[in-house]
């Protein structure tokens, strides 16, 4: 299969790595000296820590302090202007962090009551990164605001991804004080994945957010913003390598009672009542291994996805995974084939949302000192959309039921990580199969450079017939190649990316919206850091060229831009696209046009804690009509807290393109408002209303007029005492007009109980 690569592609890859290597050799290391190791205090077996969030237990009085913090925002490399202290103790079950954040003006502390995983830079918070493997490649993080609200997840250095999806059985309490606030965090050893008797010390890092007129960020290790990852500098924790971990089981039974109603014009109303028992099992035979099983999982409590403008989208759009079973050790599944960072359209080597409706699943995960691996097998009942990629767009088929297996492994050798993945999906009723496998690597030769690469090969016999149904046919082979390099220096940040997908490449357990193309993307960024209110400024040039494998241009973009960052986390970005070329179908015209693009976001006030806007002005391609017209794309979002216990998040987006007669040819809109009422830290009501509407006028290239809208409403009451113990009572209603079937309505009422044993 390697022979299918063109000489041009091979030459480009060689240039990427040659240029990267040359810069790596020439580059000087600017890493600061690592902070001194910290020895946490072991609690006596008969002692009991009073976990109040106030640090008032006498145990804390004799525990050593770590109080060396550095500033990373608005400027980095300076001692932190406000004092922060960290203390760490552990017993046979958990590790505890006691943190005191001093504040000269405590009245300005932003401490709202928000949902779990909604602790962002508009709030004061403490963030603890804990790396029990000691490789500084991944870390569990716990972010806590002064009201004790938790946001947690996993960070992966290779992809520089902060994933808030996983929820761990972590406890945190906080207390506002007259001189700041205090936080206590309890992380059970049972939620950590690490090798037994490892030779490397555990690592930790604490960051602190202070959103004022000028947002400030402090870090407990001497790390610069130009570091290659958030884990580049951490503090070693000594004495934890031999923490005893007993074999442990946990069971999470669940029971869901629901009623579904569906109706449409010309159809009788259908009512279905269902009682669905479910079970999640977790077995941890030792510190390194964890076995998960799920039977009849129910995901009714998962929040609705934020709607996307897709009526004028050329390719499919990926969405984040939110379902609990797929989130255990989800960082292991990440790989370089995730190229949104530098201009890609969003390929994923593994995309668990391609598993639409699992009836059962089994997974084994392992973390040793230098290696991590995962095996996953699932029975998928199907019913969703199967993505078939093409050079000019994404095609969708109805997904049959299937058996899915995935395997992913990665090993670390100093600054190099080498991995591989394999997946296999076998469709039922003789509809064929899809197999994907290949290696990947990430190399950090110094503290500034990162080089990544991945090659995947596919073999597919599940081929669509004329009616769009999958049939087993002769195997078709394909390949995917990805390579990129990025350098983070004080003033300059260059990057280069190459991506090639062959004509017959399919990855039915990944996310591949486009095939039969090669794309080169280059960016050069010049940065200026100033010791003033507007502390960050920059200018950049981004160039991308995408062609079919036989050299026909699909798209080409020249993108100069500038940005500035300043008070109240304000970020403003302006781009001028003087020369965009885009082709939307085989043999179609290569459209040339220009446009302006602007983004802005800020954290203005306590009650209006976030506003964001994106605006595109100028010309746009009307994909369905295969033409260019004057157009506008606008997206607005906000987060408001008019009262202490009420969250409101409106979101609006619109794309409008003019026709040849000056009238609107396309008007695509979405509107969404999310509201949360917190009765307590355990009880809340979440309500979501969203509308998607599309209108097209007739008379352009034969495209008929159409009008449709789709409304969705959801309300859920939740009582949650922990990630395992929770019950939900909810209703979801949907109404579509202008679609087929006409005037379709559906509703679901459900009650779900889940508890841990």
Q: Is residue 338 part of a domain?
A: yes
Find, among 744, 675, 752, 757, the residue nearest to 715 by Cα.
675
At residue 33 the predicted structure's pLDDT band, cuts being 50, 70 and 90, is: very low
**CATH assignment at residue 174:** 2.60.40.1190
Together in a domain, 26 and 39: no
**How far out from the chain centre does Cα 503 lie?**
28
Together in a domain, 197 and 325: no
Q: Per-residue pLDDT tens for 735-747?
A: 998 766 678 899 9
Beta strands in 583-682 (DSSP E): 591-602, 608-622, 627-643, 646-658, 664-678
At residue 8 the predicted structure's pLDDT band, cuts being 50, 70 and 90, is: very low
The domain tally of the chain equals 2
User: Is the peptide bond between 741 and the residue preceding it cis, with omega within 30 degrees of 0?
Assistant: yes
Q: What's the whole-number average pLDDT of the chain?
A: 88
Find, among 686, 699, 624, 694, the residue nearest to 655 by Cα.
694
Q: Is residue 464 part of a domain?
A: yes
Cα dihedral 500→502→506→509 (10° resolution)? -20
Q: Per-residue pLDDT tens for 227-284?
A: 778 888 899 999 887 776 767 788 999 999 999 999 988 788 899 999 999 999 999 8
Mean of pLDDT values over 379-404: 94
Two structure tokens written together for 491: 């003033």
Together in a domain, 19 and 41: no
Together in a domain, 10 and 156: no
Mean of pLDDT values over 99-118: 92
Q: Which residue is it, tokens 């097998």?
A: 377
Q: Identify the residue with better confidence: 606 or 452.
A: 452
Among 237, 266, 291, give the residue marking a domain's end: 237
Residue 484 has pLDDT above 50, yes or no: yes
Among 210, 237, 264, give the residue marking a domain's end: 237
Residue 151 has pLDDT above 50, yes or no: yes
At residue 376 the predicted structure's pLDDT band, cuts being 50, 70 and 90, is: very high
Q: Is residue 503 part of a domain?
A: yes
Q: Is residue 285 part of a domain?
A: no
Together in a domain, 22 and 70: no
According to DSSP, residue 539 is labeled E
* Burial call 693-723: b when 16+ CB within 10 Å, e when fewer: bbbbbeebeebeeeebebbbbbebbbebeeb
SS3 325: helix
Q: Is residue 596 part of a domain?
A: no
Which residue range(s) make up the domain with 369? Answer: 1-30+318-517
Together in a domain, 401 and 429: yes
Together in a domain, 21 and 51: no
Q: Is 308 exposed, middle or buried (0-12, 13-18, 19+ CB in 10 A)?
A: middle
What DSSP string runs through 261-281? EEEETTEEEEEEEEEEEEEEE
Together in a domain, 42 and 17: no
Q: Is residue 723 within 8 Å of residue 167, measured between CB atoms?
A: yes
Q: Is residue 25 part of a domain?
A: yes
Together in a domain, 24 and 43: no
Q: Per-residue pLDDT tens for 304-331?
A: 888 888 888 888 888 888 888 998 888 8
**How far out from the chain centre does Cα 299 lie?**
19
What is the structure's pLDDT at 22? 42
Among 499, 517, 535, give the residue marking a domain's end: 517
Q: Is 528 exposed, middle or buried (0-12, 13-18, 19+ CB in 10 A)?
A: exposed
Q: Is residue 379 part of a domain?
A: yes
What DSSP string runs through 341-395? GGT----BS--GGG--SEEEEEEEEEE-SSEEEEEEEEEE---SEEEEEBSS-EE
Q: How far is CA 424 from CA 14, 358, 493, in A?
A: 31, 15, 39
- The percent of residues in the chain predicted with pLDDT above 70, rounded, is 93
Q: Per-residue pLDDT tens for 189-223?
A: 988 888 777 788 999 999 999 998 888 999 999 88
Together in a domain, 162 and 58: yes
Mean of pLDDT values over 65-76: 91
What is the structure's pLDDT at 699? 62
Together in a domain, 505 and 358: yes
Find, among 713, 293, 349, 664, the residue nearest to 499 by Cα.
349
- The percent of residues in the chain predicted with pLDDT above 90, rounded, is 64
Mean of pLDDT values over 641-659: 92
Beta strand 470-487 pairing with 449-464: antiparallel
Helix (H) or strand (E) holding 25: helix 7-26
Mean of pLDDT values over 486-495: 91
Please, what sign has the CA dihedral across residues 661, 662, 664, 665?
positive
Together in a domain, 333 and 185: no
Q: Is residue 401 part of a domain?
A: yes
What is the structure's pLDDT at 636? 97
What is the structure's pLDDT at 701? 65
Helix (H) or strand (E) holding 8: helix 7-26
Q: Is 655 exposed, middle or buried (0-12, 13-18, 19+ CB in 10 A)?
A: buried
């Amino acid at each position: 299969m390697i022979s299918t690569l063109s000489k041009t592609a091979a030459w480009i890859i060689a240039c990427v790595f040659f240029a990267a290597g040359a810069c790596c050799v020439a580059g000087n290391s600017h890493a600061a000296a690592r902070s001194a190791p910290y020895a946490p205090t072991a609690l006596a077996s008969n002692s009991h820590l009073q976990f109040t969030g106030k640090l008032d237990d006498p145990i804390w009085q004799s525990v050593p302090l770590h109080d060396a913090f550095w500033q990373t925002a608005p400027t980095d490399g300076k001692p932190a202007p406000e004092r922060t202290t960290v203390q760490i103790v552990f017993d046979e079950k958990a590790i505890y962090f006691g943190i005191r954040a001093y504040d000269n003006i405590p009245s300005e502390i932003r401490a709202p009551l928000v949902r779990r995983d909604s602790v962002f830079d508009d709030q004061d918070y403490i963030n603890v990164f804990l790396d029990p493997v000691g490789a500084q490649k991944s870390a569990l993080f716990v972010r806590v605001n002064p009201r004790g609200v938790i946001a947690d997840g996993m960070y992966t250095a290779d992809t520089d991804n902060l994933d808030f999806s996983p929820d761990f059985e972590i406890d945190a309490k906080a207390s506002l004080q007259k001189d700041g606030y205090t936080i206590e965090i309890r992380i059970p050893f049972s939620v950590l994945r690490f090798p037994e008797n490892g030779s490397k010390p555990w690592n930790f890092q604490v960051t602190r957010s202070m959103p004022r007129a000028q947002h400030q960020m402090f870090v407990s290790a001497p790390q610069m913003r130009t570091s290659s990852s958030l884990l580049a500098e951490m503090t070693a924790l000594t004495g934890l390598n031999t923490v005893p971990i007993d074999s442990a089981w946990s069971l999470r039974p669940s029971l869901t009672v629901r009623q579904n109603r569906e109706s449409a014009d010309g159809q009788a109303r259908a009512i279905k009542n269902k009682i669905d028992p479910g079970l999640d099992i977790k077995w941890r035979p030792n510190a390194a291994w964890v076995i998960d099983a799920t039977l009849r999982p129910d995901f009714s409590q998962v929040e609705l996805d934020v709607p996307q403008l897709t009526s004028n989208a050329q390719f499919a759009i990926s969405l984040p995974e939110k379902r609990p079973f797929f989130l255990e050790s989800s960082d292991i599944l990440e790989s370089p084939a995730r190229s949104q960072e530098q201009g890609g359209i969003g390929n994923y080597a593994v995309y668990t949302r391609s598993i639409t409706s699992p009836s059962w699943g089994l997974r084994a995960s392992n973390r040793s000192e230098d290696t991590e691996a995962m095996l996953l097998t699932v029975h998928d009942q199907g019913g969703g959309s199967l993505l078939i990629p093409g050079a000019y767009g994404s095609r969708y088929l109805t997904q049959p039921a299937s058996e899915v297996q995935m395997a992913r492994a990665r090993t670390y050798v100093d600054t190099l990580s080498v991995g591989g993945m394999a997946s296999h999906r076998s469709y039922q009723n003789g509809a064929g199969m899809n197999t994907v496998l290949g290696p990947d690597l990430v190399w950090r030769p110094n503290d500034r450079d990162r080089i990544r690469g991945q090659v995947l090969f596919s073999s597919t016999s599940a081929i669509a017939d004329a009616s769009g149904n999958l049939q087993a046919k002769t195997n078709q082979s394909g390949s995917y190649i990805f390579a990129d390099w990025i350098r983070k220096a004080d003033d300059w940040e260059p990057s280069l990316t190459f991506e090639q997908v062959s004509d017959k490449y399919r990855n039915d357990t990944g996310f591949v919206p486009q095939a039969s193309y090669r794309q080169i993307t280059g960016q050069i960024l010049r940065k200026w850091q100033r010791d003033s209110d507007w502390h960050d400024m920059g200018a950049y040039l981004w160039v991308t060229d995408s062609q079919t494998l036989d050299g026909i241009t699909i798209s080409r973009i020249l993108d100069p831009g500038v940005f500035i960052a300043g008070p109240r986390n304000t970020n403003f970005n302006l781009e001028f696209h003087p020369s965009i070329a885009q082709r939307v179908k085989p043999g179609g015209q290569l459209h040339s046009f220009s446009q302006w693009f602007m983004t802005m976001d800020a954290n203005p006030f306590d009650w209006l804690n976030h506003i964001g806007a994106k605006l595109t002005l100028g010309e746009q391609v009307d994909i369905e009509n295969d033409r260019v017209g004057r157009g506008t794309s606008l997206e607005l979002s906000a987060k408001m807290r008019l009262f202490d216990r009420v969250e409101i998040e409106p979101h609006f987006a619109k794309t409008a393109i003019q026709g040849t007669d000056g009238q609107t040819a396309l008007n695509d809109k979405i509107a969404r408002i999310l509201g949360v009422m917190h009765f307590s830290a355990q009880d809340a009501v979440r309500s979501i209303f969203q509308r998607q509407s599309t209108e097209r006028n007739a008379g352009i290239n034969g495209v008929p007029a159409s009008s449709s809208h789709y409304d969705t409403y959801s309300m859920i009451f939740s009582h949650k005492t922990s990630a395992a113990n929770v019950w939900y009572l909810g209703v979801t209603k949907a109404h579509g007009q202008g679609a087929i079937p006409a005037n379709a309505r559906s509703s679901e009422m459900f009650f779900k109980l889940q508890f841990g044993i």
